[in-house]
Structure 1
Amino acid sequence: MKILVTGAAGFIGFHLSKAILKKENEVIGIDNLNDYYEQDLKISRLDILKEIDGFTFHKLDLKDKADVDTIFEKYKPEYVVNLAAQAGVRYSIENPYAYIDSNLVGFMNILEACRHFPVKHLLYASSSSVYGGNKVVPFSTDHNVDHPVSLYAATKKSNELMAHAYSHLYGIPTTGLRFFTVYGPYGRPDMAYFSFTQNILSEKPIKVFNHGKMERDFTYVDDIVEGIDKLIPLAPEANSDWNESENDLSTSFAPYKVYNIGNNNPVPLMRFINALETALGKEAEKIYMDMQPGDVMKTYADVSDLERDINFKPSTSIEDGLQKFVDWYKEYYQV
């Protein structure tokens, strides 16, 4: 398969590219290598990918439509996995326009390119954040997601709406992937597990929001990658008999589908911190703080349709996953 992966130098994009390259697929990776977090980490990921046969990389920004079209016209990818996005809930409160440029304008350019240079399947990163203020758990793809609590979440919900419109108008098979708190080696330094590790090893305090009374459906990156890999060839089909009162809201009369990819096992924040302390062999100094704007109390993925369609369910425990992350961290940063 010839697969275009946007955000290939990013956390999930790197791991996905590496996995599908090992199956002797061709990967065209693009990334703008922005400075949202340390660029050296992105370069390290790219260096690994460039050593694998079948990988081609282009530095470009998705908001530059002409550059995106040039890549599609030159390589004519069969499949597209759009993982490039401006991430982070709290950052979206301080830098809203970064999310408009990357998550809306950039995604629009991908949709237009898929329209003019037809692909077999477009998969794109959504987020568990689309569930916003929802109280009913586990979060199901059949739930209404019209109450975001951050601009980041709103842009991800917008991606799903834009994809549906293009699936309907132009017959582009699209699949949205609602990721739940992804973690692991070569992860994002802005994520709690990464910054907590840095602070604990440096004997600096960690900030524990909402006084530790939160739960997250932490999902190990290898589980995320396996789910995406299995979904790439599974393009959704239109259901001409679709009825919103009878059918799952994550499907449609268009060739459109949305999946949760989460561990289906929410972990209390204090258990997560304890598991990290155990992996590091060191106790954290904790500063307990109030809930931050844009945060939610709990995330919990219903993955029943993922199990049904690809016979897969993420299963890595937080203890095992954090140990693997810590082992990588100590080796990479020579701690």
Structure 2
Amino acid sequence: MTALKPNLAMAACAALSLLAALAPANGWADLVSLWQPGADGELARILVLEIRLPRILAAFGVGAALGLAGAALQGLLRNPLADPGVLGVSGASALGAVIAVYFNLAAFSIWAMPGLAIAMALGTTVLLYTLGASSVSTTRLILVGVGLSSLAGALMALLMNLAPNPFSLSDLVNWLLGSVSNRSWADIGFAAPFWLAGLVLVLLAAPGLRALSLGEEAALGLGADVSRTRLLVIIGSALLTGASVAVAGIIGFVGIVAPHVVRPFVRHDPGDLLLPSALLAGTVLVLADTAVRVLPFAMEMKLGVTAALIGAPAFVWIAARARGMGQ
């Protein structure tokens, strides 16, 4: 029964993902129209295969990567409030991407933006662990994350303030608000290798995360390679977060909410938590992006704004219930 629960959780999340992909108005009708001959079928194929499907996959990929990174960091740091956004990893990654955009480094290499985003995410994760994030209290960990996020935000604001023209400023602001609109197959193909590498590294760390849930000394006593587990999670989370930020900008809170929802269904096993958290976070972001598209606003709301409106209250609730919050 213990082994069945993670599988049931993953199956449920996968079913939700499929329903979320078909949730928009005319979603089923457009799929049926794919098989019609003539202009109607061609139009449906362009709409579904070239516009809607890449956007859905981008939203799911970003959400799944952030959910997986959040679950891995929570297992490594043994802290239910750890998450790339809360700990400042997403902000630092976004700063790297903004630097690449501001200085037009993409003109020299197409790898400049994702490379800097991943490098900044990796550096921040290493810094957090070096500062003893696994041993400090939840309150102090959040304060460190707030400080790193504030510093990254201040540096990004400085670059926007120094933007050479209003068009560059508008591009930076729109990108930082977080969105997967107009994402193409090329964007997904660009991020997919980083997501896949991060997934493999984090899954390889699953046995070590289980041992670490008993404490570092107990994990060493069980023969777990703690140093290897740390390295796998740090690099894997940096790859997942950096690639997500490069695709969609800053998307907050999904990485902390999804693992918290899934955790009771996998009996708090940090290894079994990984894949269901990724699936649920991807589903949540697809649903949020669906809401962004169908809400009757004059201008489309940014996905990062919608995720924050949903995730921030959930984060407050999780933080209020977390044990040892004030220690």
* Structures share fold, TM-score greater than 0.5: no
Higher-strand-fraction structure: 1
TM-score normalized with structure 1 length: 0.25
Greater relative contact order, per chain length (Cα 8 Å cut-off, separation 6+): 2
